[in-house]
Amino acid sequence: MQQYQVRDGLKLLRFNGVLLGHVSSQQDQPRWTEMSVYKTKPLPGHVNGLYVLEKVGRSVLTHVPECKEMFPNLPRFQAAHPGDDPDIGYEYHDCVPDEYDFPSLLVEEDRYWATQCNTSEAVVEALYRRRGNSQHLPRISLDLLEIVERADPTFGDMWRVEYIA
């Protein structure tokens, strides 16, 4: 058992547990997703622990304030990353000209999401993407489930067979 802390928006979740699996979609691109599944230590009086599903949307993309394609309310680069150089480890969106005003440069922030699940079924259910009446498991979710299944075999039955009415 190890102590972990994950973020859900601005809320911090702390727990003792084990990491069952982690995946990342990063492939030399400015935005990517990282996902992890943890199993918590059982609470007193309970046989099983909870599962914690964590998803982080990462970004190293910078913008100028006039950009029409950026997310609202981005922080200034200098405030979010004091002392960092945007030429090292960050990428410029198409909106950033060759010569720009450094103090006005904005940066996308990482986005954090986490949820607690009582069962492996609930973890799998949380990984589904839904649109209208259809649902699917994205490739990154399938990769995560394959890794998690090695640590906790109960996950295999939850996503390898789907029953259709």
Model pTM above 0.75? yes
Residues 100 and 77 in one domain: yes
Residues 10 and 39 in one domain: yes
Q: What is the pLDDT of residues 53-97, one digit of tens each?
A: 999 999 999 999 999 988 788 999 999 999 999 999 999 999 999
Query: Residue 164: its pLDDT value, please?
Result: 66
Residues 36 and 7 in one domain: yes
Residues 100 and 68 in one domain: yes
Instruction: Work out how many domains the chain is built from and give that number.
Output: 2
Cα–Cα distance measured from residue 145 to residue 154, given in angstroms and rounded to the nearest whole number: 11
Per the model's pLDDT, the better-predicted residue between 162 and 97 turns out to be: 97
Residues 143 and 120 in one domain: yes
Residue 162 has pLDDT above 70, yes or no: no
Write out the residue range of the structural domain in which residue 74 sits: 61-107
Residues 10 and 55 in one domain: yes
Query: Residue 155: its pLDDT value, please?
Result: 83
Residues 55 and 128 in one domain: yes
Backbone φ and ψ for 88, nearest 5 degrees, come out as -115, 105
Q: What is the pLDDT of residues 28-53, one digit of tens each?
A: 899 999 999 999 988 776 667 899 99
